[in-house]
Structure 1
Amino acid sequence: MKSLFKLTLTFLVFAVLTFSCQDEEVIIENPSEEEVIQPGSSLSNLMRMTVTNDGAQDNLLDNSSCTEIVLPVTITISETTITINSLDDLWMVAELLNNPAGNDGIEFTFPITVTFGNYTQIVIENQDQLNSIVEECLTEPEVIECVDFVYPISFSIYNTDFQVIDTVQINSDEELYVFLDNLDAANEGAVLASLNFPVTLVYANGNTQEVNSNQELETAINQAETDCNNEGCQEEQVGYYLTDCFWTITSVGDEVGTLSNYYLYFNEDGTVTVHDGFTTVALPGLNWQVEGTTTGVYLFMSDADTYLDVVNGDWLVTSCGAEMLVLQKDTDAEVVELVLEKNCTTDESPFSCFSNTTVTACDYDADGVTTFELETLVLGNVLCDYDFTPSFHVSHADAEAAMNALPFPNSYQNTSNPETIYLRIESNSGAFQVFEINLVAEPCATDCSEADVDGFLQTCAWNIVNYNGSNDLIDFEFNFDDNQVLTVTGMGATYTGGWSTSQSANGGVEVVFDNVAGPSIQAINGSWIVIDCQPHRLEMVMGDNHMVMEQQNCYSSDELYTIATECRWEVYSYINDQGSDVTSDYDGILYSFFENGFVVAENGITIGYGGLTAENTATEQLVVLLHLYNSVSGIGNYYTVESLSSEEIVLSSFGDAELIFHRTCNSTNQDGDTAQIKTWLYEGNWEITYSSMDSADNTSDYANVTFDFQQGTNLIGSDGSSTANMHYEVLRDEAGDLRMVIDYLGIFPYWQMDDDWYITEVNNQRIELHYINDDANDESVIVFEKI
């Protein structure tokens, strides 16, 4: 085959330029396949997680596990400015933030520098830039914090014949991360590396372990990730946490909850105050002290007697946080665990969280009587840090006596308008206070007129998203015609009924449904009062029934084509009309959409093609016809556009099919050769100087026909008396071959050109196309020459 274009395949060569190499001769035996560090393997991933930069260490500063602030850094909290020189200083930040005056948060002195998990760094100039980076952190890096490598370590680099070509020495976590990253990027295993053993690991508690094989290394890292529960607590942190508030004993040893009614307060003078819910006493005999040692941070407690003697001993802090401390001590018989949880509510009352208030509810029929959801309206908006027990009463005397509480406060119907009821709030100590709740039933007026509701309903289709708290009717689609005919589609059937609107006596809008006879959906028949009116959402009531309707998305064909033509797309999900998930049938197929409705689908070297036409219905719904040929034709159907965004297109058929495309911009079927061919095609008109079909010469079919290859994949063929509007595309397939797709199934002779052709020869004057990728094959051939 003659071709003016040739592909040059450039192999990626792994160059280790950032690491120092051993100059001395190293005698290394050729490794087995098991000794090679395979890119993407479990061991490679574990090693990468072990050396990934841990951005979670300073979350108190930046609230992001994706970044680490490069220290030192200067910050201001409530007009107090401090410099953080190391992670050990973070306890000072916690102390300032926990102070009531610290609610304003942290102000950095910019510029600052942040380091990402892959050790790249950027300079942050202001708070907005920092906020943007934090918001972009959607997935926290996977980090194994409890084990480190003892450096230096070294790798042997082999070629594919397992011959040593280099030895690389690694001296830090960052160097090892970059090495593994480059190893993963090496071309399809063309570069092999094995770790030279022995290798030493050091754990968070200071212990070390020597490993001598890949398997031992993988086991050691896995075990470290499982066993490590020492969160690197600092002596100052633990002391600050303990003196900040009361603590309860959640469990000690096998006993859970037996001492949870006691609240411990660790005084700064080394004594402990105990609150049992009724009295507060100091236990002068119970002393405490926090001390950091080489094996960790310890809480020493001594001289406690009677009911609290179980806390005596030397407790190692194994997990620490502002809300919970986990400690362990060794006894002759076993290791005992003590869990303390912070509780700041023991000596505070909840009464400041409440006040006398007025609540309103919608009076649907304007008779002054309605249902009040008291728990939702009164208690739902209360933010209180203190425990309390609420109850509602119809009289002040009942509230004070804690008698005759309303049994169902969330469905209370008023007896007068307005009406006052009483809320009793009781604290854990038994103290209480009574508050007045004024109930007012108001007419359910909306901001919409009858004309507004008519216009909303007749725009796009609607769904019932809530019917008496259920979404059982959501699969029914409602279309409101301007002649008051209602069409309901769903559950494989279509029903018709009537609809109308009117202005109600109290100024609201009523929507009437009648003669809707389908199963389940007939429940909507009747007169509904609109209580909340928005262009895309209507909330209505009818007696005790409640219904919310929401408008489906309405899009234009321009919006669809603008988004669809930005990149290629792949099938993310396809449920066919029979309800079967056949997504896997379309794996690997890439779809290209063009503004003129042309569609090209590539499945390896198989090219499918067809069209996507779109138009809006009378109710503004965007309906499309997707038709394709060859092996990709199965998704062809009529669809409604349900959702449209720059990353996803969701289509649903008039049956049960749902087709979801996701955008993929990581590959292209275009290159410099395809661009050059298109440029030549645009530069003048062309004619067919030779054509064969099924090995028969049919060149004469195209006598006097000229072809105009236009930008935008339009191809115009004309013999002076008739014109054919065709589609075409020039691309390079996954095998690297140049292809031309011509789409047309109209008049003779142009329908004979409809196919996915191989370009076997091309220059600025001549293009030769073959159905078989062989320039010597004469079965089906088209030769274009410039006029």
Structure 2
Amino acid sequence: MKFLMKPTLLLTFFALFLFTSCQDEVVDIIDPNEQETIVPGSRLANLMRSATSNDGSYDNILDNSDCFSIELPVTIILDGITITIEEADDLDELEDLLEELVDNEDFIDFVFPLTIILNDYTEIVIESLDQLEAYIDQCDNDEDVIECVDFQYPISFSVFNTEFQVIDTIVIESDQQLYAFLESLDDENAALLISLNFPVTLVYANGDTLVVNNNQELSDAIEAAEEDCDDDDPTLCDEDEIAQNLLECRWEIDDTNFNDFDDLYITFNANGGFVIEGAPGTANVTGNWDLQTTDIGVKLILSELTAFQEDLGGIWLIVECEEDELEIIKGDLELELDRDCETDFNCEVQDLAEDLLECYWIGVSNLFENITPQPFYFTANGEVYLGNANGSDETPTGTYDIAVTGSSIYLILDLGVPYEFLSGEWQLVECDDDRYEFINGDNYLVFEQECEDPSDVFECFSDFVITACDENNDIDDGKAIFNISANTIGTVDCVAPYTASFHETEADASSNINAIINTEEVLSASTVLYLRIEASNSEFEIYEVVLVVEDCEPNGCSELDVDNILMECSWFVTNYNGSDDLSIYQLDFNMDQELIITNTTDNSTITAGWSTFGGPDGVVVEFSNVNGSNIQAISGNWTVVECSGEILVFARENDQMVLERDCNTNNFCNEQDVLANLLECVWVPVNYNGDDVFVNYVMQFNSDQSLIVEGNGMNFTGNYSIQQGSALFLFIGGLDNTEVQDLGADWTVVECNSNRLELVSNNNILVLERECN
């Protein structure tokens, strides 16, 4: 598009809008539900801000830029005619006029100056064509604008102070006011709580309205509108149309998150059942399906899956629906279903017979137990060899034949030990040039073609060097524990099949004798071991595995030791360069690397950070974001020079600091108090390894040690117990093979108060928060 500069009067800026607020008096109310407040930077706040951003796309016929709109009225010259665009409706007439002009030399010429309005409502006066083109060129659509849903105004917010009193009511009359209000939450009123007053009405681009009654409904509705947004023809998914489409053909799954379910096919049946096929190592998966229309859209419910229940089972929201494509979401998971109406069975007997003779085939079956699959070689005379490239010098493992019965094709196998369990008639159900899938009753057998030379496996390997720390620095034996398998073959991604074994001498490796049995815990001094890699054609190579023992803990504490010691109890700075001035500060180290510093004289707190890492002289503890008078002196990196269960001594250049442990600062972490609090209310698992995957469930602990987990329309029953030992333990069981089975574990209580429990099991972290409403 060409723009020609024309002089005109400078348009004035739009006057700043004013919030309407009212307050008659301070009103005491009950503590507002935390889930109903608007938290700056939260998912809901960001969605509301995106929905109220200035939509720069509506006038693209003028500027071809989504990053801003042009303030109306604006004067343009088109084909020698001066036109004033007074309002947005005039843009449709402009579009019709442009379609009627057939002369490609007709362009829109702007009369400058003019004003552009960015997505965040910033107004900029444009004086020239070059300046306008510069803003168009630098547009990269950074602002996340949701164009398909608007608020029906007015709406209002209640403002609470930290005493949970209503101190103001903010009335919002427009998108621009709401956007500015949300922006102000990031910078102002840090000590205030903001809550939207419901109900609130949303208006979709097609004119439909939706009334929402809480934050969750509002968040879901805006997010659904964003997913289903279509500038030209916004449509809502229809349950009957979706059901009809699902039944017409099978659908290919496209896993946009993790690629775990790519290339699987799901067939929906009219009786409410479905079948998933194409998963290597798994028989066809069955389950039940249903559709449900809700205020936020149509939901696809998958239940009772024979496999993948945790990942694929549950309630999916359909956010995009076309005749040949569906997009569904569940939490952070997103799947795309692509319709596949190719119904012809394109498997031919001749193709199967010819393909089997090419290269070798890796067999996968649900019948394989305690057997490492080897390549299958099929010969033209009907013989089957395992692990031999041509069968010239080996005895065949068995025979095969191909038969046709009616419209079905069968591979008939007659194999000897140890593959005799594969003998029988296998019906061909899926075929490609390099993959064939067969079934026999409830069992499956998949052959995948590999055409690389088996000897190519040796290109995957080389010599290895493994370093480990002396496993006990108190005993100078120079030995360490090595996981030799994980640090060698466990680091290699090789498609060619092979057999690996470890040996203490090269001669043993060459003869394949005296293999090391436990390769995950090898106690050894610095030495050389030998890795034998044997290809499927029995050729082998030997590689050196050099073990190096290092003294990694010169001061008697490993990084893990320091982490565990710091998180066990509270700590006090009893000595800082010979002074005890900092002893009034209590330091509590949390597992999420949060450091809570409490001034015990006035109970004021500071939230800082901490972390550990290995340094050249030992373990280093870093204190970060310590913003407080006096105590900020501990900021920075400190090397641990002495450690025990009760005291830690740090050094940093010319500074020295001593921390002493105090395990009597928290009297709540005992069996009786924890049990009493568990029984009082329900508990919400708000955090599991940093994710809110279980936040929609509640856990009810009963006095008979039964446990009920409820959420997403389902109930699960388990059990629990509490035991006081070297630590306080919460044992949760009985949830196996359920959607919440990860909650079942032997948990150690590492942090507790009357409203919050932080639990640890192996490398897993679970945070429970009490809900008494």
- Structures share fold, TM-score greater than 0.5: no
Rg (Cα) greater in structure: 1
After TM superposition, the score normalised by the length of structure 2 is: 0.29
After TM superposition, the score normalised by the length of structure 1 is: 0.29
